[in-house]
Amino acid sequence: MLRKSNVEQTVVETLCQYNPMLIIEGAAQIVKKEIAVVCKRGSGCPLQKKGYEDVFNFSWTKLHDYLQENCPAFLSVITATVCDVSPPVLSKSYQHILLTAAVGLHGRSQEMSLVQYLVGFMLKHGGCTERVTIIF
C-alpha cells in the first residue's frame, strides 16, 4: 500500500526501472527551460559579465551559487556526470562541474563566454606563444 507522501517517488522509481528514457526526456525538458532563462541577455549570469571588475573578481563559488539558484536541474545533471556525490568546494571535481557547465552554456549562447575569455587571457599572458591548430 502506498502512502500519499511516497507516491511520487514510487512512480519515478518505477519509470526509472521500466522506461528510463521517459524520465530522461522529462529531465531534458526541465533543463532546457532553465537554460533558456539563464542564457537570455541580461539574465545576470556571471558568464555574461565581461567587465574589468567581473573578470578580476570571478570565482567558481559565485558561479556555482548562481547556477544552484537559477538552474538546479542543469547543475544536478552535470554533477551526476562528474561524480557520485556533491564534491567539496574547490576540489578537482567541483571545478570540472563548473567548467563543464560554462562550456555547455557557451555552446548554447556565445555571450556566456567569461570562462573562455579567462582561459584565453591566462594562455596569452601566461607565456603561451605557440599557436595550436585543431583539425577535425
DSSP state of 53: H
Per-residue cell: 28: 531534458
What's the pLDDT tens digit per position in 10-52? 988 999 899 999 999 999 999 999 999 999 999 999 999 989 8
Residue 112 and residue 48 in contact, taking contact as beta carbons nearer than 8 Å: yes
DSSP per position, 16-63: HHH-HHHHHHHHHHHHHHHHHHHTSTTS--GGG--SHHHHHT--HHHH
Question: Angle 7-18/20-38 helices, nearest 10 degrees?
Answer: 110
What distance in Å separates the CA atoms of residue 108 and residue 116, rounded to the nearest whole number? 14
133 pLDDT tier (thresholds 50, 70, 90): low
pLDDT given for residue 80 in this prediction: 94
What's the pLDDT tens digit per position in 89-124? 889 999 999 999 999 999 999 999 999 888 888 877
